[in-house]
Amino acid sequence: MNYPFWDVPLIGSGWVIGGIAIFHMMIALFAVGGGFYLVLAERKALREDHRDWLQVLKGHSKFFLILTGVFGTVSGVGIWFAIGLANPEATSALIHNFVFGWAMEWVFFIIELTTAAVYYYTWGRISDELHLKVGWLYAAASFFTLVIINGILAFMLTPGDAWLAVAGTGQESSRFWQAFFNPTYWPNLVIRCLICASLAGVWALVTCSRIDGVRKPELKTSLVRWSAQWLLPTFVLLPVAFVWYLWTVPESQRALLQLGISTIGSGMFTQVTRAVLIVGLTSAVIVAVTYAFAWRSPREFNVGQALTVVLLALIATASGEYTRETLRKPYVIGRYMFSNGVRIATVDKLNVEGYLTHSVWTRQGNDVKLAQGEAMFRGQCLACHTTDGYRSMKRLLGERNREAIANLLKLLHDYKPDSPYRAYMPRLAGTKDEVAALGDYLATLNPPVVPAKEATKTAQR
Ligand code: HEC
């Protein structure tokens, strides 16, 4: 543990990243899809001479500029802060491997941000043709930001054999492209493109819902319907793309989903299954709401209904991201680094030398052993658990006494192939003494309850 630990009570640092990431995704994917929406709508308006469309599109592009240029960029930087604090080891590994990838990413960001502003401020000031060209430039640049970040995100789930073969040798950058175009790259890209298209439609419906349907019935009908169509490809192709994606995910990770489905209702892993079900259900409701309200009665389509669709899309995005995160367990970088920042290849060494040996962050207390146990807990468990809140350690330890805790830790430490915990928890690293200290510390979390009678007796005495 070379870094101090960031302890976020109740929700855990993972949900800080998750919260920012979900918010960011809703905007960033819109930034890509919305760019294509704007140019395609503008082109259609020019070709078919719908001058009134252009006025609405101008308004939409302002909303687009503010949402993506302010909230999208700020939340994007927020992700960097959060991952750097929550998982410095993984962030460092990603930067070391993909520094060139991020350099490319930022070039496209700059083009994207510049052209988005130019596009909005040049409505009616330059020729239609040139304005459309600016729009296309924006769309292409934003698409490339997705193409690049997708490689890095997909890498975290499936780094691929070529990269893993050299991981830790200092030669990783020689496998840059193999790591980039890793096994889940293409299905992941297709899924994201589909979501981009539907988010373009979802946010455009918000703009369209504000058109006065009484005074401009034709304008509203044509734009609401045209925007609603943007949701169609996603709902036809997403299930297919999702199956393709699962097919490319390694067997061990896919097993996590199956584990959830086979244990429905029995506690363990129902969250993943629930998340998958929620994605399916909310998507179905989005289609139903869009069809019933936007497509069938476009003139009456109102802001409340449009925001309902946004909210549903947010829930679907959140559940989808949660599923992706869970599929990756117990790794932050598949088969290379566990979620708590421990590299698989170093566990044997840590078992001999000690996990805390190289850490300067261990708190010194009166009780050295407990302080060590706490440091082990922070370093190796809190990446996925909290003491009292999300995946509460107190709740999960339940009735276990010191001995039962020792058994659990032995399972985690030995990490035998048949251990049920292998599917979602990292291997516990450390010397015998360190594991014992962790056990002592865990035992203090749920102190044995003094039976009520005894307590009164003590009080009376
Ligand atoms: C990669 C994330 C991750 C890390 C790191 C992790 N766990 Fe877990 N742990 C999980 C998940 C997921 C579950 C299942 C939670 C549930 O069923 O609600 C779980 C369940 C548990 C349970 C309940 C298991 C049972 O059979 O009752 C205990 C106890 C536990 N973890 C202890 C630990 C300890 C101790 C550490 C640190 C040495 C640790 N975990 C590190 C993800 C993790």
pLDDT of residue 326: 82
Nearest Cα residue to 39 out of 147, 128, 111, 149: 128
Q: Is 385 in the pocket of ligand 1 (CB under 6 A)?
A: yes
Q: Which two tokens stand for residue 182?
A: 């890793």
| pLDDT higher than threshold 70 for residue 227 | yes
| Nearest of 140, 139, 134 to residue 120 by alpha carbon | 134
In this structure, the number of other CB atoms found within 10 A of the CB of residue 128 comes to 14
233: preceding bond cis by omega (within 30 degrees): no
How close is the Cα of 382 to the center of ligand 1, in Å?
9
> How would you label 16-55 residue by residue, b for 16+ Cβ within 10 Å and e otherwise?
bbbebbbbbbbbbbbbbbbbbbbbbbbeebbeeebebbbb
- Is the CB of 263 inside a 6 Å radius of any atom of ligand 1? no
Best mutation site among 273, 396, 412 for ligand 1, i.e. most ligand atoms within 8 A of its Cβ?
A: 396
Taken in order 34, 35, 36, 41, is the CA torsion positive or negative? Answer: positive
Q: Tell me the two tokens of residue 202.
A: 């979802």
CB atoms within 10 A of CB 321: 16
4 close to 84: Cβ distance less than 8 angstroms: no
Select from 262, 425, 445 the residue to mutate for testing ligand 1; criterion: most ligand atoms less than 8 Å from CB: 425
With cut-offs at 50, 70 and 90, classify the pLDDT of residue 359. confident
Structure confidence at residue 165 (pLDDT): 95
CA–CA distance, 397 with 405 (Å, rounded to integer): 8
pLDDT band at 268; cut points 50, 70, 90: low
Q: Best of 385, 394, 401, 409 to mutate for ligand 1, by most ligand atoms within 8 A of CB?
A: 385
Provide the pLDDT for residue 242.
86
Query: Does residue 59 surpass a pLDDT of 90?
Result: yes
Side chain identity at residue 221, one-letter code? T
Most confident of 167-181, 212-226, 270-284, 326-340: 212-226
On the question of pLDDT at 270 being above 80, the answer is: no
Q: How far is CA 13 from CA 5, 17, 20, 319, 370, in A?
A: 10, 7, 11, 18, 23
- Please check whether residue 387 is in contact with residue 394, taking contact to mean a CB–CB distance below 8 angstroms: yes
* Side-chain half-sphere CA neighbours of 22 within 13 A: 21
Q: Is the CB of 311 under 6 A from ligand 1?
A: no
Contact 383, 341 (CB under 8 A): yes
pLDDT of residue 325: 82
At residue 451, the pLDDT reads: 64
What span, in angstroms and rounded, lies between the C-alpha atoms of 231 and 283?
10
Average pLDDT (264-283) is 72
pLDDT beyond 90 at 320? no
**What's the rounded mean pLDDT across residues 140-156?**
97
Q: Which residues are CB-neighbours of 388 under 8 A, at least 6 positions away?
A: 9, 10, 394
Q: Closest Cα partner for 425 from 329, 357, 341? A: 329
**pLDDT value at position 259?**
67
pLDDT at 125 over 90: yes
- Hey, what amino acid is at 439? G
Q: Would you state the pLDDT for residue 456?
A: 55
Report, as an integer, the average pLDDT of 41-62. 96
Count the residues in the chain.
461
The model's pLDDT over 407-461, given as tens digits with 9 standing for 90+, comes to: 999 999 999 998 889 888 999 999 999 999 999 999 999 887 666 655 555 555 4
| Ligand 1 proximity of 386 Cβ (cutoff 6 Å) | no
pLDDT of residue 452: 60
pLDDT band at 186 (very low <50, low <70, confident <90, very high): very high
| Confidence label for 235 from pLDDT (cuts 50, 70 and 90) | confident
Q: In sequence order, which residues have a C-beta less than 8 Å from that of residue 297 and are 6 or more positions away?
A: none
How far apart, in whole angstroms, are the C-alpha atoms of residue 316 and residue 358?
A: 42
Distance 425 CA to ligand 1 centre (A): 6
d(CA 256, CA 273): 9
Report the atom number in ligand 1 closest to the C-alpha of 420. Answer: 26
The rounded distance, in Å, linking the Cα atoms of 444 and 394 is: 10
Amino acid identity at 413: H
Assigned token pair, 375: 């440091």
Tell me, what's the pLDDT at 255?
A: 74
- CA 23–ligand 1 middle distance (angstroms): 27
pLDDT at 263: 55
- How far is ligand 1, taken at its centre, from the CA of residue 399, in Å? 15
For residue 381, the CA-to-ligand 1 centroid distance in Å is: 7
CA 43, CA 37: separation in Å to the nearest integer?
10
What span, in angstroms and rounded, lies between the C-alpha atoms of 407 and 181?
Answer: 42
pLDDT of residue 324: 83
- The confidence score (pLDDT) of residue 420 equals 84
231: confidence class by pLDDT, cuts 50, 70, 90: very high
* Mean pLDDT score across all residues of the chain: 91
Closest C-alpha residue for ligand 1 atom 27: 396
- pLDDT computed for residue 329 by the predictor: 87
Question: How much is the pLDDT for 309?
Answer: 94
What is the 426 CA–ligand 1 centroid distance (Å)?
9
Could you report the per-residue pLDDT of 302-311, keeping only the tens digit for each?
999 999 999 9
Residue 220 has pLDDT above 80, yes or no: yes
Whole-angstrom distance, CA of residue 143 vs CA of residue 269: 35
| Cα separations in angstroms, 226 against 201, 256, 290, 394 | 9, 40, 12, 52
Give the gyration radius of the chain's Cα atoms.
26
- Average pLDDT, integer, range 250-274: 66
- Per the listing, tokens 């289609």 go with 287
Q: In this structure, are residues 256 and 424 in contact, taking their beta carbons and an 8 Å threshold? A: yes
